[in-house]
Amino acid sequence: MTPASVSDYRELARRRLPPMFFEYIDGGSYAEVTLQRNVADMEAIALRQRVMRDMSQLDLSIETLGQKLSFPVGLSPVGMAGMYGRRGEVQAAKAAASLGVPFCLSTVGVCSVDEVAAGGTAPWFQLYMLKDRGYMGELLARAKAAGCPVLVFTVDLPLPGSRYRDVRSGFTGSSGISGALNTAWQGVTHPGWLWDVWLHGRPHTLGSVANAVPQAGGVTDFLAWIARNFDRSVTWADLDWVRKTWDGPIVIKGVLDPQDARDARSAGAQGLIVSNHGGRQLDGVRSSISALPAVADAMGGDLEVYLDGGVRSGLDVLKALSLGAKACFVGRAWAYALGAGGEKMVARMLGTLRSELATAMVLTGCRNARDADRTLLDLAT
């Protein structure tokens, strides 16, 4: 199948990846109500078609936090991408760079921040706050030394949400001989992945935290250590601690409530990402797109507001821009594409989003992505 949409990349990834890794990408927490809302609420928004408006000149570019993006999309941090494609974070970063958009590296990526930066373009770096502040300080220093331009501080994961699909697939809760046999069987029955990732994509560690867990034998050991070390005591005052090591822009990821957005602004953040962690944390909360307008209005342009969650097309990107987002970050979309075929597929998927965004702009009469506002929406529907 030649992929034409994000759903096509999803299907190709489902075929190629062992079930435990596909379900980890695809699933949400608990009954996955919020995961479904992210997509359904985005689909329910109607664009306002306009015609005969001379759309011969389009400008999709934006500037944000000192960077120029060729179009208003970035790659969200996705954990363990190196298990979906060989050295997956490096491949995704290269694809993003080729399209002129940012890639954000997860703290729990298989590839380290140094390895990704060595690939040619320093990523934005996503931080989970763990109990070991000494190691956190070292990690921030490494990201800074690697040239990372932006720190994305994820605040909606003081502990992991329960993800039932991961239990059913054997990704979590399966250990010892039974766990090893389950992993082996899933690998053998997916030979393309076995050759690309399992045999030639090593080491299978979480590169940015590998030094903190020298005894870990594999990715699941690292994840178990991470889960035990999330710090539930973190408050806005901890941004002062982060600032002792990090002097660049800080973006807060995981905000849904306008008051939390105000608190982020007061704490000195330069941006925030309206996000419910892709429906992977507190199930039953509202969708990211439904939370966006109130948060954007509360900020009033004082800091950069981005959206993460439910974006499956370039049309969705324009909807988010119209409701106050400066740009959209996509997670599952690029993880599916990586699982489907590596860097080439990630670049192809980004090209599709860009083309779809351009089409939506032409047919709504929006010549410049920076000018998108609520007049582009059919609010009567």
Catalytic residue among 190, 200, 204, 277: 277
Annotated active-site residue 190? The verdict is: no
Q: How far apart are CA 359 and CA 176, in angstroms?
A: 52
**73 torsion bin: left (phi>0), alpha (psi -120 to 50), beta (else):** beta
Give the DSSP H/E element, type plus range, for residue 272. strand 271-274
Q: Which residues contact 108 (CB under 8 A, 6 or more apart)?
A: 79, 80, 128, 206, 208, 209, 222, 223, 226
> What's the token pair of residue 222?
């690292």
256 touches 274 (CB < 8 A) = yes
Give the DSSP H/E element, type plus range, for residue 105. strand 104-105
Q: How far apart are CA 262 and CA 284, in angstroms?
A: 23
How buried is residue 188: exposed, middle or buried, by Cβ count under 10 Å (0-12/13-18/19+)?
exposed
For the range 217-221, what are the long-range contacts, defined as Cβ-Cβ under 8 Å and sequence gap of 24 or more?
219/80, 219/83, 219/110, 220/171, 220/172, 220/175, 220/179
75 touches 96 (CB < 8 A) = yes
- Residues that are catalytic: 277
